[in-house]
């Protein structure tokens, strides 16, 4: 029995060695890939810097946009003022219409009162002319 246990231990050790060797190979392959990617990255960074140096710094002039924005803001303000004037005119027109309605109703009531007085006087005149 001791012999079998001893052989199994040797096979287990060999299996561990193979596993460790495989892991070491994988780690070495991974590290080599990382070094390769780092080198590629460095080459790309150098190409980018060279391209930017050739092209020169890009300075954009946003001034014409600011002028357009300023013009649009002025138009917006002017339109807001115009709208406020129109609203004020509409309110004034409504108030004037209300005033005219009240005056019309007062004059109509006065006319009806005067007509009723005239009709009353006509009855009195007609009565006096008959007698």
pTM above 0.75, yes or no: no
| Residue 12 to residues 1, 7, 19, 48, Cα–Cα distance (Å) | 17, 8, 10, 53
Does the pLDDT value for residue 59 go beyond 80?
A: no
- Of 126 and 71, more confident: 71
Contacts of residue 130, Cβ cutoff 8 Å, sequence gap at least 6: none
Above 80 in pLDDT, residue 62? yes
Residue 11 has pLDDT above 90, yes or no: no
Q: Which two tokens stand for residue 94?
A: 């409504």
> In the prediction, which pLDDT does 44 show?
95
Computed on alpha carbons and rounded to an integer, the radius of gyration of the chain in Å comes to 53
pLDDT averaged over the chain?
88
Tell me the pLDDT tens digit for each residue of 15-27: 888 899 999 999 9
pLDDT-based confidence at 98, cuts 50/70/90? very high
Residue range 93-104: average pLDDT? Answer: 97
Does residue 86 have a pLDDT over 90? yes
């Amino acid at each position: 029995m001791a012999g079998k246990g001893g052989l199994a231990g040797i096979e287990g050790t060999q299996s561990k060695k193979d596993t460790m060797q495989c892991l070491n190979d994988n780690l070495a392959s991974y590290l080599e890939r990382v070094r390769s990617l780092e080198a590629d990255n460095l080459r790309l960074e150098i190409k980018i810097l060279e391209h930017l140096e050739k092209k020169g710094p890009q300075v954009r002039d946003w001034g014409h946009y600011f002028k357009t924005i300023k013009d649009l803001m002025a138009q917006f303000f002017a339109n807001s003022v115009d709208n406020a004037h129109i609203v004020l005119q509409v309110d004034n027109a409504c108030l004037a219409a209300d005033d005219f309605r009240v005056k019309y109703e007062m004059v109509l009531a006065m006319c009806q009162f005067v007509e009723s007085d005239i009709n009353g006087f006509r009855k009195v005149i007609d009565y006096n002319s008959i007698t």
